Structure formats: structure tokens, C-alpha cells
Chains A and B, each alone.
Chain A
Amino acid sequence: MTEAHPGGKKPKEFHIKIDRVEYHVVEEELTGAQLRQLPHPPIGPDRDLFEVIPGQADRKIDDTYVVEIVNGKRFFTAPAHINPGHEVADHT
């Protein structure tokens, strides 16, 4: 495999998690939009993407936001809106 990488340098591979699933990526930076493409099917617009930042509040990742990728980073998705109701009020 080394011939594919001139100089014999193996690219770093990062293991990150989105929800419960682990993904292996080589990019050192990814935008929110790129992260959304990792799962199959990709994360739809009905869910927001968040990054877990230890010791701080979770950060919401917009499509254009650039995330520095390091090994072990955790992301999760959450319904963008929730709509609990008394009764079914039909807003179509």
C-alpha cells in the first residue's frame, strides 16, 4: 500500500463517531455539510448536527462551519424541531 503514498508516509486516519456509528476519515478538516454526508443515507435537513465538546456545551455545527478533525471526536444528531401538542393542530 505504501506506493500509493509517495515518501512512504501513510496518511493519518481519524476515527470519529456520529451518533453510535464510527467513521474513519483522513481529512484534517471537514465542514458541517461534509460531515452530514458520512452516514448512509446522509443526515437530512430535519436533523441538527452537534459536536460534543468535553467540559463545555455541545456545539451546533452549521453546514459551512469548519470542524478540525481529531481522533475520537464525537458528534450526534437531534431533531431540528420538535412539536409536542395537546391535540393535533394541523398546520400544513
Chain B
Amino acid sequence: MTTTLVVPDRLASRLRELSTYDVETGGVILARLVRTPEDNIRLLARELLEVPDHAYERREAQQLLISSEGYVPALARAEEAGCVPIWFHTHPGNDSNPAPSRHDLTVNRSLSDLFRLRADSPFYGALITSSDDGTITFTGSLDDGVSIAPIDRLWVVGPRLALYHACDSEHQGVLDIYDRNIRAFGGPVQRVLGDLRAGIVGCGGTGSAVAEQLVRLGVRDIQLIDPDELSDSNVTRVYGSRLKDVGRPKVEVLADHLADILPSIRVRPIQSMITVEETARLLLDADIVFGCTDDNAGRMVLSRLSTYLLVPVIDCGVLLSSDGAGRLDGIHGRVTVLHPGQACLICRGRVDLGRARSEMLTPEERNRLVDEGYAPALPGVEPAVVAYTSAVAAAAVAELIERLTHHGVDPVPSEVLLRLHDREVSTNNQEPLDRHYCHDSSGKIGLGLTAPFLDQTW
């Protein structure tokens, strides 16, 4: 079992800043708890309630003395918000050690019962951060009153991504085969890639190319989701597919291929649709999800997933148009990165709501409604070409690298539009629409598990 504390970048920046102060800082982080299908825990950080100035009776580089008014008010708030309260403090100064001191362990023992009781939370959390040259180092624990487990990972989600391991945890080594990557972006990013859990929704031309690149890049844990069987016209685009695989589930063809490249990786093929609640819930274990599906209903699920569960989603699409006489006249690619603070796919108009509704109907219902003029007809077989699906897949994977390495322009654009027919690339950022679920004011960002799941009908 691993426990990951997922922190929106704004909150992470504050933690980082507080860790560089000359004196210690305390506070309570409120986080929604999500148990994943693989029995891991994700704590989705919602807010940090810092100890108010008047509650510090002593505040020095090596210690704090805080009155009860400094942390008790946060507990009622935790109860109200259905959150686990995490007692947080810093060990300031560059290069200082975030391991708990003897004092800290005493504090944890004295707070555990109270925090769980007053916040009506099954857990008491504790987090200590330090700063190491601008990055966060930390230790953390989660205590259910019986046993204490570590907080293993801190996953910072936003325009830039960062994965930190608890400084008392063991690092897995990096294989020599990634030497060329390391020469490009260094060992730490390579380690992060090796520790990421990725989900890929849609395993056609784009999804299979994303999967292959992720494996070659060093990602070792990949979940593949696609309902379809391979058809002969898929073989022209789907990586790893051969004519003799026609009729097999796409996810299995791809999973076999990935395991052939690197047998040590863990690939989980799931032959299902993301619009099935059980399947969507499997993505609770993912740190990052690539949206490589063509269906609008699926995109709506991914869009909500990124808001409610703080899972960054890199959604991509390819659209080819011809002039009707078999000549390509438009080659459009789109890569949109969804994370807290950016507009979702609906706010961006990237989802056709009418089509999404149609996709959720049974074929009989759909045909009837289309005949009656109440539903749009779903498109037939669309043109697709391996060069363009691969180009867009590469652009999507490049977004992941860019966000982990933190190179490139600032602010980071959240969408890349490729107009390959004109050999042009453009980028944009877009604010969420007022009152939409993806907007900060909705209170849905990092809300975690809701009933119904993702606040939508399944």
C-alpha cells in the first residue's frame, strides 16, 4: 500500500515558501481521503490553515511553542469539509532534515486522538517539510489510532508537475538503458518517470503510440483502457498490432507488445469503456491519464476526473478533413492538459454535448432519436493516418516531459494546437467559466469521491 499526498501547485508553492523561512511554521492541511481500487490511499489537499501569529508563543529556527488556538479551529473545519486533518510544520533552512524529532513524535502522540475525534476523521496525518535548493523534501505519516503508515509520495499537480518521495523512503535505481534520457533531462526526472502510474484511455492510433513512447521513456506502470477488438483497418496505425492480431482486444494486443519491449513493466489491460463507472474508478490509482479516445462521453468523464480527483489529464485528438475528392485539406491535432485552475474540455468547447448524449444511448434508442431528429447522427468511419496520429501522440508525451522538467515558457500553455497542413503550431490558456465545476468557486477541485461518482449520472 502506498499513500500519496496530492497537492495543487498553488498550495505546494506555499509549502515550499514556508520551508525556506528562518523560523518554523505550523499549520493544518485539510485533505480528502480516497481509497483506490488497489488499496492505496490518496490524500487530496484542499487547504492549508496556517497557525495565526497570535498563537505562536515561541517561534524559532529549531522549535515552536503553539497554543491550542493555533490548531484547534482547523479541526471543526476539517469535520465540516469531510477532510483528514494533517498537522504540518516546517524544519526551515536550506538542506535541513525533515525527519521527525523526538519532540515531533511526542506532539504526534498528543494530537492523534484529538484530531481524529474532533475532525471525525479516521486518520491523523502529520507532515514535515524542508527545502532543498527550491525543491520540497518531506516526511509524513498517517495514523488511524492503531497503526502508523508513512506518507510515501507527494505529487504536485498544476501546470508543472513534481513527484517527491519521502526522504526516509527507499529509492529504486534507474536502469542503464535510460542513459540517453538522463543525458537529456537528468536522473531525478527519470526516476519520477519510473515511479509514475499512467492511465491511457483509448488504445487506437494515438493511444498505442503514447503507450509505446511512455514505456521507452521509462514509465513502468500503465493501465490500458479500450473496449474494442482490433480490426484490419486498425493495423495501419496501432503500434504493436499485426494482421494476425485482428479480432483480439486492442488492450491485449498492446499489452503484449509493451511487455515484449520491457518485460519488467507492469501493464494492466482493461477491455471496457471509461463511461462505465467501475472502469472509471480504476483510474483512481493513476497519477496521470492520457485521453486518447474519440468519444465525447468519455472525454466528459476524464474532464471531471481531473477536477474531482486532481489527476492531470493530457487529452488529445486528431481530425483530418478531405475535400470530398480524396484529397486531405485539413490536418488538425490538439493536445489539452487539464489540471486545477484551467478550463475543462466543456468550458473549452472541446466536447460535443449532443454527441456525448447520443453515445450514451443504446444503438436502437439512438437510431430512433436520429430518425425523429432529436439526436445528432454519430459520424461514420473517419479518416486516419499513422503519421498524424503518431505526431499528436508525440506532442502529448512531450507535454508530460515538459511539465516534469520545468523547462520552456512560463506560464505554460495548457493547450497546443497543431495545424499540420499549414505546418503551424499555436498554444493557449483558458480560464474556467464562472460557476462551472472546474472553477475554483465550485468547491469541486479535489473533492474526491462523491455520490454519485464524479457528480454525474452513470
Contact = CB atoms under 8 A, between A and B. Distances in A.
A53 to B, nearest CB: 9
A85 B62 contact: yes
Interface in A55-87: 57-58, 60, 76-87
Interface stretch (B103-111, B394-402, B447-455): B103-111
A20 B63 CA distance: 31
Interface in B37-70: 57, 60-70
B181 interface: no
A77 B114 contact: yes
Contacts of B70: 82
Nearest to B26: A84
A84 B69 contact: no
B385 interface: no
Nearest to B72: A78
Contacts of A58: 72-73, 75-76, 118
B63 A84 contact: yes
B444 interface: no
Given A76-B114, A77-B114, A87-B101, A82 B71 contact: yes
A83 B117 contact: no
Given A60-B68, A78-B114, A81-B57, A86 B73 contact: no
Chain A at the B interface: SS class: loop
A44 to B, nearest CB: 13
B252 interface: no
Interface in B74-113: 75-76, 89, 91, 96-97, 101-104, 106-107, 110-111, 113
A81 B111 CA distance: 11
Interface in B116-138: 117-118
Nearest to A17: B117
A1 interface: no
Contacts of B114: 19, 76-79
A19 to B, nearest CB: 6
Nearest to A79: B110
Nearest to B73: A57
A88 B101 contact: yes
Contacts of A52: 76, 118
B355 to A, nearest CB: 45
A28 to B, nearest CB: 26
B66 A86 contact: no
B111 A85 contact: no
Nearest to B75: A58
B101 A79 contact: no
A58 B91 CA distance: 29
Contacts of A79: 68, 110-111, 114
A68 B24 CA distance: 39
Given A82-B111, A83-B63, A86-B24, A60 B103 contact: no
Contacts of A4: none
B76 A81 contact: no
Question: Which of B70, B91, B117 has most chain A Cβ within 10 Å?
Answer: B117
5 contacts: A19-B114, A48-B67, A76-B114, A81-B66, A85-B64
Given A57-B76, A82-B71, A85-B104, 4 more contacts: A79-B110, A79-B111, A85-B62, A86-B96
Interface of A: 19-20, 48, 50, 52, 57-58, 60, 76-89
Interface of B: 24, 26, 57, 60-73, 75-76, 89, 91, 96-97, 101-104, 106-107, 110-111, 113-114, 117-118
